[in-house]
Amino acid sequence: MRLGRVALLVLIPFATPASADPPLSALTLVGPPTEIFKAGRDACDGADVPDAPARAFRDAAGAVALYGMHYRNRALRGPDLGQLKLDCTVVLDSGEKSDPAAYDDRSWITATWTEDGARVAALLHHEYQANEHPGRCPAATYMACWYNTITAATSTDGGRSFKRQSPPVVVAGAPFRQEIDQGRHRGFFNPSNIVADGRWRYFLASTTGWTLPGSDQESGICLFRSDDPADPTRWRAWTGTGFTAAFPDPYRAARPNTATCRPVGPFPGPVGAVVRHRGSGAWIAVFMAKAAEGYPQSGFYWTTSRDLITWDSPRLLLAGATLYDDPCAATAPLIAYPSLLDPDARGRNFDDVGDRALLTYARLRTEGCTITSDRDLLRRPVAIHVWP
């Protein structure tokens, strides 16, 4: 089975980090990595590789379900974060359908939210890979034909199975169909986990941007808000003055307005995860970056915010070549898909952390210039300090 290339391989145009300023927080690795999952040992079939940041929640019985695998979606389950094992039941499969309006080509569960542990809302990173469907894209190459949308699915059995509505609900899509502007990657992709702040729920997602008369969208990271994740039509993006930008299905609905999102943060690519520090209320985001201006080394970085909009200068947490680096030059396995999970999180959805957490990420081995399916899911303890 050929592995699909999740859109975390895609960099958005470079975002310059904020100017040097006093840090709001300090994150320090305080222990070695340990394995959660090893493909060669624990996989059910060739589709079982870590291919997205880890997302977890506690179900109604208090057990943990963790997602972050491939587009044949399965969950790791156990009584807690320290005792997880892959469940071979497919909770959401990908139809690899050629009709782009079906939004059922390849989908990854990339965010979950539940209030009661039984009914679970999911955000899906959906890739329409037009190069795989004859006649859908003249370029016939992955990136030139790549059309990405954030869609929704729901579980009513504690995350043991997910279903899409018919027709599927588009949470965030480009305001044009897949055949438009081919030759580059297009759309919204890689939502972060969902976090709570009072009555509101938030997530961060990447967009490649577009140019349309009266409605130009800048590339970058958009902040979305909703008062009810169970209703995926209620998500709206930050415009700079309010949460009013909607990006519905271009195959079924006229766009209600021309508002666009105003990108937030210093992020050079998708946000791996965002969590709230319990002691201070500060938000901490982790992401990966390659060595470039503002980023002296490739690896995982973190940044901190008081409001999810303004973020401080990123700091290096773990150095190493990432998916953004050239695999041909790799002298060690690549690292990717960082997330922060606190085993003692107060929230059912692991969206809060204390002064300790687990940096959870994937290690990907290469052969020549190929990123292989020989991948491990790892965790490392992290100490967290936030200044008042």
* pLDDT at 240 (0 to 100): 97
Blockwise average pLDDT, block size 10, the chain, 388 residues: 41 50 91 96 92 98 97 98 97 98 98 98 98 95 96 98 96 96 97 98 97 91 98 98 96 82 96 97 98 93 97 97 95 97 98 98 96 96 96
Collapsing DSSP to helix, strand or coil, 36 comes out as: strand
42 contact partners, CB below 8 Å, separation of at least 6: 48, 85, 86
* pLDDT at 11 (0 to 100): 53
Residue 66 tokens, joined: 């963790």
CA distance 71 to 69: 7
Size of the chain in residues: 388
Contact call for residues 335 and 299 (beta carbons, < 8 A):
yes
Peptide bond into 138 cis (omega under 30): no
* pLDDT at 10 (0 to 100): 54
Pairing of strands 146-155, 186-189: parallel
**313-345: b or e for each residue (b if 16 or more CB lie within 10 Å)?**
bbeebbebbbbbbebeebeebbbbbbbbbbbeb
Tokens 């947490």, located at residue:
317
* pLDDT at 155 (0 to 100): 98
Residue 327 tokens, joined: 């695999």
Tokens 């290469």, located at residue:
366
